[in-house]
């Protein structure tokens, strides 16, 4: 079963423009003086979107067997989600400042 | 034993467990590619641990500086564009290699590596500028000393990966040009390069944009 | 789809020649497996001696120990171990045992040796990477051992290397200068070697199974190695990041793990902005999957061996696979149970306790399935089988202690006591080691073409089995009495009545340790002088027993095996045998799947 090693040229360049556009959007948003948490959420969402585009089209995962995606990505996402548990202690730390700064 | 009387024939051929029946590549990718994907998953977790550590400490900090002027942000944005464009060059290199066009593939590989070199040069220039302003891993003129630590460790780790990638791509380019390596090797190096680009997609906003001087 | 040639098939056409290529820089998985195994044998030997020093010091704190004055005049003046040097000894003991024994031999040792043959492959998917993994691990060992000889000795921060102690540098104490740096470098190198090994194992298991070897026809050893490799791939990445940050804190002035206002030995530190808790999170996020990396290969070997020597199919193959997968998954959700007393968020205590208790369920199911496998079998009491049965005993015993520790309310009292020490030694220091012994006694004939002496083996087992209970069970009781761990001496009157228990444990440790020399002798003597082994001395069904002992360089002599059966077809007598080889096209299965 032959499949092309890369996506078509049109898609590749569309993704490229999309990535550049998202980058510009991020930069514009950065100067909008939003509160830190909102900014963080927005940037993370956009970054994940950019990462997904790169993984799917540049790294060709969209065109591989679905089983490969299922093997790699959920495990990675699961580990990353588990690691976010540490932030509970981070926000506690913010309220526990030491005597000497 | 002929295939027709082989009791295994019904298992290996035609069934949907056939792909996992042994003697085939279940993911339909060469082993080297699977190996590189696995490496990427692990390296992604390493980067994530460093970035999460940065997040952990920044969320807990009181005086995280936001020192990046428009010039710095522009520089970082240009670096982002350079890296994204080098990724496109990499895709074109893989495409050329799979079509058997060796010279074009080598050219695009070199172009990709060049993109990496430009990225590194812009990055080092930025580092030198910050160092001149007094930023160190243990001190900076604006706020908590962890700013420099987080900045240098994340961008340093990334720059190390870019540099290794440049060397890797040039080795592949030379080897592919000499017909020692195959299309699979070019693809595998491409996966690594796209991963390096992908990590930057997170470092750029989290390190630069969240510390941009917006007032 | 096209079966594209893998690196293994392209490279392994001719046998290597020359001593260096055959035995030193070999890409043959069998050689590399043995290299890892002997690296582990060396490490366990050194680690065991360190444990003797620790145990002797607890009972006879003023003993002049021969040789220590030469090794460390500052740490052991006149051969008397100082409190700091005590901590150094137990740091290297722990680091050696957890990393260089339990994370090498069960997975990289036996796995490298047996996995490719058991799945019908000529070699691992990436033989050159395999060789690189070993030599990186070897370098890591060199870095760690060198800490015993350079500067003012090894670090005193334990194998867990908690900051601030591990991060502030020399001012924190002896061994915290170059010693801690060497530790960090060693572990970082080890992470790299493990990562490369893990991706090799996974790719090999996925891509290189021979025809007919479906995933559900793989021996349980292969499932265990696969799941362990996945855990390694995902968890060592975090430890690597943590070690990099620690090295930066120590050498680049960063403060990832160091808060402000830290007074160390009277000196105010310049650091600010970091958190020691961050290290604990990163370390234990790795550390808990790590202990499953240490034990899961043992689960695989024991499941396999119990079936072979009971002459019965393993009870519940699919359930065991599901349980192993469940354990692997859950192992990423429980790390906070090492941190109940760290000052982390109180809600986290509850959130980590629940999956910790849940993870006992698949482990218990597997243990019960083992008992069910043995029940009604025609047992063959080889030394291998004795260690396998012993594994079931010690694993259940040690695991039960975990149920107490899993509860934050109880852990408030038990954390940092000998109860914890007894628990993890029973499951890791005994059960996992029993898994290694079982693996050794099982695969030795294949690896060296000779048989180990069964008489010596049984004596070794008997003394060891009784000995380990004598050493580690009392630890649970003195822990319940509140005796703290990592203390070099106890002057508090409260602890004095318990000192005879320490004496008992020390004497048991010395006797049990001495009996290991029976094993070492058996191992090295039999390698050269043992009776020659046949192709299949255990009458086992899996693929490694279809090739000569030892196998040719490409395992199957250029042939590609085809598999027709499950791996545990025992008990149904046909053609004069009570077993059916996996590669036998003619045999009837023991029972329908």
Which DSSP string corresponds to C149-217?
TSTT-S-SSTTTT-TTTTTS-GGG-TTTTHHHHHHHHHHHHHHHHHHHHHHHHHHHHHH-PPBT--GGG
Chains in contact with B, where contact requires at least 3 CB pairs less than 8 Å apart: A, C
Contact B198 A51 (CB under 8 A): yes
How far is C196 from chain B, CA to nearest CA, in Å?
Answer: 8
pLDDT of residue B63: 81
Question: pLDDT at position B4, please?
Answer: 39
Nearest residue in chain A measured CA to CA from C271? A101
Which residues 171-210 of B are in CB contact (within 8 Å) with A? 183, 187, 190-191, 194-195, 197-198, 201-202, 204-206, 209-210
User: The dihedral of CA B45, B47, B52, B57: what is its sign?
Assistant: positive
Nearest by CB: A86 against C261, C281, C351: C281
A81 inside 8 A of chain B by CB: no
pLDDT of residue B8: 46
d(Cα C537, Cα B43) in Å, to the nearest integer? 43
Average pLDDT for residues B44-73, to the nearest whole number?
94
Instruction: Inspect the interface and report whether the beta carbons of B22 and C585 lie closer than 8 Å.
Output: no
pLDDT value for C344: 87
What number does CATH give the domain C26-259?
1.20.210.10
Decide: helix, strand or coil at residue A6. coil
Query: How high is the pLDDT of residue C588?
Result: 66
Domains defined along chain B, listed by start: 29-211 (1.20.120.80)
C577-579 vs C570-574, strand pairing mode: antiparallel
pLDDT tens by residue, A5-42:
667 899 999 999 999 999 999 999 999 888 888 999 99
The alpha-helical segments, DSSP class H, found in C531-591 are none
Global model pTM greater than 0.80: yes
CB contact under 8 A, A93 and C344: no
The mean pLDDT of C213-217, rounded to a whole number, is 94
Which DSSP helix (H) or strand (E) runs through C573? strand C570-574
The residue of chain C nearest to residue A85, with distances taken between CA atoms, is: C348
| Binary contact (C272, A1; C-beta < 8 A) | no
Distance CA B99, CA B120 (A): 31
> Is there a contact between A98 and C259 if contact means CB atoms under 8 Å apart?
yes
Q: Which of A27, A45, A79 to mutate to test the interface with B (most CBs of B within 10 A)?
A: A27
Does the pLDDT at position B215 exceed 90? no
Check pLDDT > 50 for residue C10: no
pLDDT per position as a tens digit, C217-254: 999 999 999 999 999 999 999 999 999 999 999 999 99
Strand partners, C230: none
The mean pLDDT of C113-136, rounded to a whole number, is: 97
| Contacting residues of C for A85, CB less than 8 Å apart | 281, 336, 348, 351
Burial B65-74 (b: 16+ CB within 10 A, else e): bebbeeebbe
Dump pLDDT digits (tens) for B91-140.
Answer: 999 999 999 999 999 999 999 999 999 999 999 999 999 999 999 999 99
Fold of the C288-528 domain: Cytochrome C Oxidase; Chain A (1.20.210)
Please provide the average confidence, as pLDDT, over all residues in chain B.
91
Question: Tell me, what DSSP letter sits at residue C107?
Answer: I
Average pLDDT for residues C330-342, to the nearest whole number?
96
* B72-111 residues touching A, CB cutoff 8 A: 73, 77, 80-81, 84-85, 87-88, 90-92, 94-95, 97-98
Distance set, CA A93 to CA A41, B51, B63, C119, C553 (Å): 21, 18, 14, 51, 58
Residue C432 CA to its chain's centroid (Å)? 6
- In chain C, CATH 1.20.210.10 covers 26-259, 288-528
Does residue B3 register a pLDDT over 80?
A: no
Phi, psi dihedral angles at C70 (to 5 degrees): -70, -35
Query: How far from C185 is each of C243, C326, C412, C591, CA to CA, in Å?
Result: 8, 33, 34, 53
Report d(CA B156, CA B123) in Å as an integer.
9
- Which residue, chain included where needed, has tokens 């070099």? C488
């Amino acid at each position: 079963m032959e499949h092309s090693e890369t996506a078509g040229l049109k898609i590749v360049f569309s993704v490229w423009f999309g990535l550049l556009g998202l980058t510009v959007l991020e930069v514009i948003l950065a100067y909008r003086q939003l509160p830190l948490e909102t900014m963080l959420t927005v940037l993370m969402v956009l970054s994940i979107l950019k990462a997904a585009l790169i993984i799917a089209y540049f790294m060709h995962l969209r065109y591989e067997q679905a089983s490969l995606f299922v093997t790699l990505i959920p495990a990675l996402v699961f580990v990353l989600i588990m690691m976010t548990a540490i932030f509970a202690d981070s926000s506690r730390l913010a309220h526990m400042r030491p005597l000497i700064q | 034993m002929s295939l027709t009387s082989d009791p295994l024939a019904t298992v290996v051929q035609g069934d949907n467990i056939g792909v996992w029946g042994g003697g085939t590549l279940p993911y339909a990718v060469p082993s080297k590619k699977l190996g590189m994907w696995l490496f990427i998953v692990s390296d992604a977790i390493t980067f994530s641990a460093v970035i999460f550590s940065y997040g952990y400490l920044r969320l807990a900090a009181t005086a995280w500086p936001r020192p990046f002027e428009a010039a710095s942000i522009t520089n970082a944005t240009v670096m982002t564009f350079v890296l994204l464009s080098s990724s496109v060059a990499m895709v074109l290199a893989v495409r050329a290699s799979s079509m058997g066009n060796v010279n074009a593939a080598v050219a695009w590989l070199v172009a990709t590596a060049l993109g990496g070199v430009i990225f590194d040069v812009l990055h080092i220039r930025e580092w030198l500028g910050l160092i001149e302003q007094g930023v160190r891993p243990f001190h900076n003129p604006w706020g908590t000393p962890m700013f420099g630590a987080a900045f240098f460790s994340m961008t340093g780790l990334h720059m190390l990966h870019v540099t290794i990638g440049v060397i890797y791509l040039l080795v592949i380019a030379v080897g592919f040009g000499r017909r020692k390596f195959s299309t699979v090797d070019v693809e595998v190096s491409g996966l690594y390069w796209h991963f390096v680009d992908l990590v930057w997609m997170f470092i750029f906003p989290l390190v630069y944009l969240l510390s941009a001087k917006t007032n | 789809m096209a079966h594209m040639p893998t690196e293994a098939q392209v490279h392994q056409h001719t046998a290597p020649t020359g001593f260096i290529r055959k035995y030193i820089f070999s890409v043959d998985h069998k050689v590399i497996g043995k290299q890892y195994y002997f690296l582990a044998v060396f490490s366990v030997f050194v680690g065991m001696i360190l444990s003797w020093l620790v145990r002797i010091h607890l009972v006879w704190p003023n003993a002049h120990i021969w040789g220590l004055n030469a090794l460390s005049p500052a740490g052991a003046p006149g051969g008397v171990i100082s409190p700091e040097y005590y901590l150094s000894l137990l740091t290297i003991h722990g680091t050696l045992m957890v990393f260089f024994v339990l994370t090498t031999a069960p997975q990289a040792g036996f796995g490298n040796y047996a996995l490719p043959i058991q799945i019908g492959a000529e070699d691992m998917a990436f033989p050159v990477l395999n060789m690189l993994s070993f030599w990186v691990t070897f370098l890591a060992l060199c870095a760690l051992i060198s800490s015993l000889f350079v500067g003012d000795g090894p670090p005193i921060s334990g194998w867990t290397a908690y900051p601030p102690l591990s991060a502030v540098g020399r001012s924190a104490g002896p061994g915290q200068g170059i010693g801690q740096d060497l530790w960090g470098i060693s572990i970082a190198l080890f992470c790299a070697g493990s990562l490369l090994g893990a991706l090799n194992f996974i790719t090999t298991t996925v891509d290189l199974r021979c025809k007919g070897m479906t995933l559900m026809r793989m021996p349980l050893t292969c499932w265990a190695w696969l799941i362990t490799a996945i855990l390694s791939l995902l968890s060592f990445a975090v430890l690597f990041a943590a070690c990099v940050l620690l090295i930066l804190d120590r050498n680049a002035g960063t403060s990832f793990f160091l808060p402000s206002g830290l007074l160390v030995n009277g000196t105010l530190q310049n650091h600010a902005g970091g958190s020691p808790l961050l290290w604990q999170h990163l370390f234990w996020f790795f550390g808990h999957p790590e202990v499953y990396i240490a034990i899961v290969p043992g689960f695989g070997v024991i499941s396999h061996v119990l079936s072979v020597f009971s002459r019965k199919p393993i009870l519940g193959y699919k359930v065991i696979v599901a349980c192993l997968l469940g354990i692997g998954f859950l192992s990423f959700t429980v790390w906070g149970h090492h941190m109940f007393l760290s000052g982390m968020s109180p809600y986290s205590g509850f959130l980590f306790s629940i999956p910790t208790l849940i993870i006992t369920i698949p482990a218990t199911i597997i243990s019960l399935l083992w008992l069910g496998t043995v029940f009604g079998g025609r047992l063959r009491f080889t030394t291998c089988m004795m260690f396998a049965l012993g594994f079931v005993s010690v694993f259940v015993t040690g695991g039960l202690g975990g149920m107490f520790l899993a509860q934050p309310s109880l852990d408030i009292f038990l954390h940092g006591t000998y109860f914890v020490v007894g628990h993890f030694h029973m499951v890791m220091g005994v059960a996992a080691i029993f898994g290694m012994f079982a693996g050794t006694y099982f695969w030795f004939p294949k690896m060296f073409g000779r048989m180990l002496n069964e008489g010596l083996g049984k004596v070794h087992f008997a003394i060891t089995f009784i000995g380990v209970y004598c050493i580690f069970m009392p630890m649970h009781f003195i822990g319940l009495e509140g005796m703290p761990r990592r203390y070099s001496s106890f002057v508090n009157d409260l602890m004095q009545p318990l000192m005879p228990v320490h004496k008992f444990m020390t004497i048991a440790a010395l006797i049990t340790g001495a009996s290991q020399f029976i094993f070492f002798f058996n191992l090295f003597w039999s390698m050269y002088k043992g009776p020659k082994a046949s192709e299949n001395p255990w009458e086992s069904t899996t693929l490694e027993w279809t090739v000569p002992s030892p196998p040719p360089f490409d395992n199957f002599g250029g042939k590609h095996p085809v598999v027709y059966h499950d791996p545990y077809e025992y008990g149904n007598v046909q053609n004069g045998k009570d077993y059916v080889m996996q590669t036998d096209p003619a045999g009837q299965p023991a029972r329908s799947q």
